[in-house]
Amino acid sequence: SAAVGYQDREAGIPMRDDAIFRIASQTKALISVGIMILQEDGRLLISDPVAKYLPAFGSTTVAAARDGGGYYVVDANRSITLRDLLTHTAGIGYGSGPGGDQWDQAEITGWYFGHRDEPVRQTIDRMASLPFPAQPGEHFVYGYNTDILGAVIEVASGQTLDAFVQDRILGPLDMRDTHFYLPPAKESRLSAVYNLGDGLTRAPDGPGMQTQGQYVEGPRASFSGGAGLLSTARDYGRFLQMMLDGGALEGTQLLSPATVDLMTRNHIGNIPVGAGMGFGLGFSIRIDVGRAGEPGSMGEFGWGGAYHSTYWVDPVEDLVVVYFTQVIPAPGLDDHARLRALVYGALVES
């Protein structure tokens, strides 16, 4: 008999086609598209300073490690732009590194926002006063960049982030099972989270990064542009098909082809992000297949999420891949590499 995956192993519930997953950092792609929609609307420019929309970012600081321990704080060399945030070159992390003690005290660490009982704008404004781990434009630093962009969307659009995303992305693309917090009627479709350590164990209930999370019963106040969404394979596949098809899906034009082209180019020059990889506006970009050392194509773009999910779009092979699991942490799992090998091994012509 064929092996079956489980939506909930303990309850014996098999994985169903419409199972709902916490997509964590795969939220970033939708928010990046939201920023580009607003640029097309004439509401903002990605070259704008963040402070134009969030005045708290008018002057920011950087923490540098001191020889022998500790750190010192200096002013940022220049203002942070929206493009810096889109490319993760703003120098903003997830609250660790030099100055991390101040982030701990402010209770802003890690990517999980589901338990926060305050609008995301309030969290982001407090973040602006904390020291960042790198100068703008110098390094690829993965962190709160897209959460900040979510707050920018609220200011530029005049809507809450959940309303904007629904009106401008989810509704037009018929992504009917993508939510920041799950409607209670859909709770039975939410996949369980597992921790991989000494075997695979069910994650505990409660708030936090390695738990089931408060995606159903949470305060429903904090809309995290960096990691807040839930979705299905069908919905996320529709979003990526829109990107593959130059901004359009089934007669709905969400973005212009020129905008999609801009988003899926390498914007960070030789700043290292991974072997053979660059970074565009919200996506990693494959710029050297040989250096990457795995099957793929030039110009392929993608990313993944903290619950061990991944996706990529290959315009050369006209291919969209969406792969969802709910495992955190997932040390030593090589299923992403095996999936890639199997997908490209199945192509009989290119």
- What's the pLDDT at 38? 99
pTM above 0.95, yes or no: yes
- What's the pLDDT at 350? 78
- What's the pLDDT at 1? 43
Phi, psi angle pair for 73, to nearest 5°: -115, 130
Phi, psi angle pair for 26, to nearest 5°: -70, -10
Please give the full DSSP string across 219-248, using - where no structure is assigned.
Answer: -S----TTT--EE-HHHHHHHHHHHHTTSE
- What's the pLDDT at 175? 98
Q: Which of 229, 242, 217, 278 is nearest to 89 (CA)?
A: 278
Give the count of beta carbons closer than 10 Å to the beta carbon of residue 111: 22
Q: Which of 277, 336, 341 is nearest to 308 (CA)?
A: 336
- What's the pLDDT at 2? 53
Q: What is the pLDDT along the chain (350 residues), one digit of tens a residue?
A: 455 689 999 999 999 999 999 999 999 999 999 999 999 999 999 999 999 999 999 999 999 999 999 999 999 999 999 999 999 999 999 999 999 999 999 999 999 999 999 999 999 999 999 999 999 999 999 999 999 999 999 999 999 999 999 999 999 999 999 999 999 999 999 999 999 999 999 999 999 999 999 999 999 999 999 999 999 999 999 999 999 999 999 999 999 999 999 999 999 999 999 999 999 999 999 999 999 999 999 999 999 999 999 999 999 999 999 999 999 999 999 999 999 999 999 999 87
Phi, psi angle pair for 168, to nearest 5°: -105, -20
